[in-house]
Structure 1
Amino acid sequence: MAYLSIEQVRKTYGSPRGPVHALKDIGLAVREGEFVSILGPSGCGKSTLLKCIAGLEPVSGGQIAVQGRPLKGPPEDMGIVFQRDVLLDWRTILDNVLITAEFAGLNRAAMRERAGQLLQRFGLGGFENRHPWELSGGMRQRAAICRALLCDPKLLLMDEPFGALDAMTRDDLNLELARIWQDTRKTVVFVTHGIAEAVFLSDRVVMMDRNPGRVVEVIDIDLPRPRHLALRETPEFGRYTAHIRHLFASLGVLKDDAS
């Protein structure tokens, strides 16, 4: 049985000009402990699909189930990282991370040690008592990831969490996320528009197109783990990224260099 099952999911929004079909007949089964990236252009429904998986948006048709149980709201044992860090500026970084424990009804004092360990691992040791406005964008997003990981969720949803960061910070966080997954084998659904990022992180890449949002291909990524940035320079890695680029070019999403 799949850990996460998405069966013929549709999502339609109403508008004064008529219905907007954001998702059409999305089908996907994610195994427990698998890292799956959802890759596609802006407007293809990637974030909408993630919100449906998170129970933040109702589906218009079809069904989403976690461990065989149909979704009726946010699933238990889930952590989520949004495009923006959404930290609370009036709380310290430590208190922002601990807010997850508060929402879960857990003892703050008992979770402080884990919060400190996570902050240390993500390069934020010594910044526990700083406020978000004192940190760079990359540091804020690291804190947001710590917050999502605090209660050790089985399912981790990430909505373009590195999209607004500079290339070096993005590479650093890609490496750390790959290490976290290697250590914990969480089930991860990761939304991105970065082809190399999707290939580097994933066991499978789900390619989507728009108007309406739909799955056009699912690619198994057979590359060795643990992964290091040098992997991106190998012919095997290049073949995956070239295949994805060519497919998107055939859909009119990208220009093909060969054309």
Structure 2
Amino acid sequence: MSSAQGCSAVASASAIPHLAINRVGKVYPSPHGDVTALQDINLDISPGEFVSIVGPSGCGKSTLLKCVAGLEDITSGDIAVKGTPHDGPPAALGVVFQRDVLLDWRTILDNVLLQAEFLGLKRADYRPKAQQLLERFGLAGFEDRHPWELSGGMRQRASICRALLCEPELLLMDEPFGALDAMTRDDLNVELARIWQGTNKTVMFITHSIQEAVFLSDRVVLMSRSPGQIVDIIDIDLPRPRALAVRESAAFGEYTHRIRHHFAELGIVQE
């Protein structure tokens, strides 16, 4: 492992995982018969590790994230954060959803500070951090604007600022860039990677994009069609920090080809 990769702080096998998902299943009752969304999911994520989950639509990726966030109950198995089982939202958690879910009647700054208000913290204490994050994500000067005045990419940047405001140790991201144009998505990928390397957060990232997963991650988890199951976990051995140019390298191409080939064998994509 290179020294740059050491920045991910992947713990040794004997260490307690930051997130431990053990034999988790999720079944939704239905008048037409129960629907199994997740089946026997086992996954440990080490402190400071960036793990992406890739799979076809309907495979349960978002359901798994909601279970980890404590927004959905699990049917079987258990989920532990730092060795402690949880049955609700864990402490020191940040979540970024597919949609920005900003409140249109609040300014951008007030939307970011909502995270502190939700946790019962003083707004004034977090205002400088909110402004710093907005500046870092290219939103300086837009603090007093409202969400409806911003582009989709700018709104999603604001939602990431909100999730990062209170320094979460565990960051869950559910396809946060899926609706953005390619250039904006690339820009946010680079910024997210930079922030992650500088803060050592543990990240579980949901995406449909194989390239995005390889670019961002220490490991990429592959899921099958419903019922969602983990079919493979691939270590990404690319040096950090990563510039977008790494996507043109032979090693990057080998990873994306390997993942795509695996999905092709499952009948999920065509080669």
Superposition TM-score tier, normalisation by shorter sequence: over 0.9
**4+ residue stretches of structure 1 with deviation over 6 A?**
none
| 1:72 matches 2:124 | no
Structure 2 counterpart of 1:241, which letter? Answer: T
Q: TM-score, normalised by structure 1?
A: 0.98
Q: TM-score, normalised by structure 2?
A: 0.94
Structure 2 counterpart of 1:137, which letter? Answer: G
Residue equivalent to 1:140? 155
Residue equivalent to 2:6? none
Q: Is the 8 A contact 2:53 2:223 kept in 1?
A: yes
Q: 1:39 aligns with which of 54, 74, 92?
A: 54
SS class of match (2:117): helix
Q: 1:207 aligns with which of 222, 232, 251?
A: 222
Structure 2 spans left out of the alignment, 5+ residues: 1-15
Structure 2 counterpart of 1:219, which letter? Answer: I
| 1:181 matches 2:196 | yes
CA deviation map 1:28-74 (0-9, x unaligned): 00000000001001000000000000000000000000000001100
1:46-61 → structure 2 map (5 Å cutoff): 46-61=61-76
Q: 2:136 aligns with which of 121, 124, 141?
A: 121
CA deviation map 1:147-180 (0-9, x unaligned): 0000000000000000000000000000000000
Shift of 1:185: 1.0
The whole-number CA distance in structure 1 between the counterparts of 2:182 and 2:87 is 38
Q: 1:152 aligns with which of 162, 167, 180?
A: 167
Aligned length: 256
Structure 2 counterpart of 1:66, which letter? Answer: V
Give the % identical residues. Answer: 70
Structure 2 counterpart of 1:152, which letter? Answer: E
| 1:166 matches 2:181 | yes
| 1:255 matches 2:231 | no
The whole-number CA distance in structure 1 between the counterparts of 2:111 and 2:226 is 38
Residue equivalent to 1:94? 109
Structure 1 spans left out of the alignment, 5+ residues: none
1:22-33 → structure 2 map (5 Å cutoff): 22-33=37-48
Q: 1:11 aligns with which of 23, 26, 41?
A: 26
The whole-number CA distance in structure 1 between the counterparts of 2:27 and 2:143 is 42
| 1:131 matches 2:131 | no
Shift of 1:16: 1.3
CA deviation map 1:231-258 (0-9, x unaligned): 00000000000000000000000001xx
Shift of 1:211: 2.2
Residue equivalent to 2:8? none
Residue equivalent to 1:103? 118
Structure 2 counterpart of 1:130, which letter? Answer: R
Structure 1 counterpart of 2:168, which letter? Answer: P
